[in-house]
Amino acid sequence: MNTITSPLPFEQSPTALAGPERDVLLKDPGFGRYLTDHMVTIRYSKGAGWHDGKVVARAPLTLDPATMSLHYGQEIFEGLKAYRMPDGGAALFRPDANAARFYKSAERLAMAPLPEALFLESVRALVKADRDWIPEGEGAAMYLRPFMIATEVGFVTKPAAEYLYCVLASPVGSYFSGGPKAVKLWVSETYTRAAPGGTGAAKCAGNYAASYAAQAEGSANGCDQVVFLDAVERRWVEELGGMNVFFVFDDGTLQTPPLSGTILPGVTRDSLITLARGMGLTVREEPYAMDQWQADAKSGRLREAFACGTAAVVTPIGTVTGKQHDFAIGTGAPGELTLRLKGMLTDIQFGRAPDPYGWMDRL
């Protein structure tokens, strides 16, 4: 029994930034550095269902220190973007795909799944409330961060009976601080990210926390990102710290690790597969061994590699280093097909090209 009113009630933030102050921040937003004026909150409790949905001033949450999510990690999140359209309007990219993934993540973490229609209503409402925060310019967008935490209080280890769903928004530019150049990867041999039967395919906070020690090792070795191998054989390339990976071969085909349950089913990953197949290219969703990657890069069979995700968009991979690996991809510069696919995707997202797959949700 859900009791949400549509449209969600809106309370204007009394501390909303004035236009000129906001415009200064929008000139160089970084990634996730600034947050917009409002947020959406919706509560769940067993028996009452989803209730009390509203758009309110963004403000700190008050939580009892014994709140279950703080102890046992029932937290899931999403990431999606709203873009400024050439006519000044706004559009979200594939919010239905994020809504579906959020539902599945909730099921995996034994949380109350948020109905997909409510997810869509919430992200649309926040973009509408804070649409002046969508930055302009190449690569700039409003990043939406829906998340859900268990709010029941107590130390019993069980799925909570109460949840808070919340959506935040942040104006963003490039995810990597160096801008859109090729990144350096570190092969994580000490740590893995997810094991079969685990939570690798869910977008839950724990997966990201689990990747930080490896990420720190990569940073200490001068790298931007980590590449994880499978947890069983320590042989197959899985994904990076927060993004999927693609390989481009000299015969023009592409390959990306399959959705085996241990990697995140990326919305950008799915979109790029669709775009590449639409161009008549062969895309294999098949395992690729780390040693094979090195051999193919050295022989020239592998021409390009790139990372992709909502935050990273399409980011070329320049070099790969690890205890047993050290190689460059092509000349180490962004590859031709990588840039072409990125151009096709972002042209749709920014409304510069037709939207043949109906991905854009105009607001």
Work out how close the CB of 29 gets to ligand COI at its nearest, in angstroms, rounded to a whole number. 14
The stretch near ligand COI (CB under 6 A) out of 304-312, 323-331, 336-344, 346-354 is 304-312
Smallest distance from the beta carbon of 268 to ligand COI, in angstroms?
A: 7
Least CB distance from residue 75 to ligand COI, whole Å?
A: 13
Kindly write out the interface string for residues 50-79 of this chain, putting x where it contacts ligand COI by CB under 6 A and - elsewhere.
-----------------------------x
From candidates 95, 113, 173, 309, binder to ligand COI by CB under 6 A: 309
Give the nearer residue to ligand COI in terms of CB position, either 172 or 297. Answer: 172
The identity of residue 69, as a single letter, is: S
| 133/17 Cα distance (integer angstroms) | 10
In this structure, are residues 153 and 68 in contact, taking their beta carbons and an 8 Å threshold? yes
DSSP one-letter code for 335: P
* In the complex, least distance from residue 285 CB atom to ligand COI, rounded to whole angstroms: 19
47 backbone φψ class: left, alpha, beta (φ>0; ψ -120 to 50)? left
Shortest reach from residue 267's CB to ligand COI, in Å: 8
Structure tokens at 144: 């939406």
Q: Which tokens belong to 316?
A: 């070329």
Number of residues located near ligand COI, criterion CB under 6 A: 5
Using CB under 6 A as the binding rule, the residues of this chain from 79 to 98 that contact ligand COI are 79
Query: From the CB of 256, what's the least distance to ligand COI, in Å?
Result: 16
Q: Is 293 left (phi over 0), alpha (psi -120 to 50) or beta?
A: alpha
CA pseudo-torsion sign 139, 140, 142, 144: positive
Of 180, 218, 242, 318, the residue at the interface with ligand COI (CB under 6 A) is 242
Pairing of strands 244-249, 90-93: unpaired
Q: Which stretch binds ligand COI (CB under 6 A): 21-29, 176-184, 273-281, 307-315?
A: 307-315
Nearer to ligand COI, 242 or 322 (CB): 242
Measured from the CB atom, the residue of 56 and 149 that comes closer to ligand COI is: 149
Distance (Å, whole) CA 182 – CA 184: 7
Q: Which is nearer to ligand COI, 53 or 146 (CB)?
A: 146
Query: Nearer to ligand COI by C-beta: 180 or 330?
Result: 180
Q: Which stretch binds ligand COI (CB under 6 A): 68-76, 106-114, 225-233, 305-313?
A: 305-313
Stretch that binds ligand COI, among 48-56, 186-194, 245-253, 308-316 (CB under 6 A): 308-316
Between 42 and 243, CB nearer to ligand COI: 243
E strand spans, the chain: 38-45, 49-57, 75-77, 80-84, 90-93, 141-150, 162-172, 183-188, 225-229, 237-240, 244-249, 254-256, 283-285, 302-309, 313-321, 326-328, 360-362
Does position 311 bind ligand COI by CB under 6 A? yes
Residue 76's nearest CA partner among 205, 210, 208, 261 is 205
Give the residue nearest to ligand COI (CB): 79
Q: Find residue 327's DSSP bridge partners.
A: 320
CA distances from 236 to 138, 188, 266, 283 (A): 35, 12, 18, 18
CB 297 within 8 A of CB 328: yes
313-321 and 183-188 strand pairing: parallel
**Count of beta carbons in the 10 Å neighbourhood of residue 8:** 21
Based on CB atoms, which residue is closest to ligand COI, 162 or 270? 270
Cα 237 from Cα 292, distance rounded (Å): 10
Which of 310, 319, 346, 349 is close enough to bind ligand COI by CB under 6 A? 310
- What is the closest distance, in whole angstroms, from the C-beta atom of residue 181 to ligand COI in the complex? 18
Binding site for ligand COI (CB under 6 A): 79, 242, 309-311
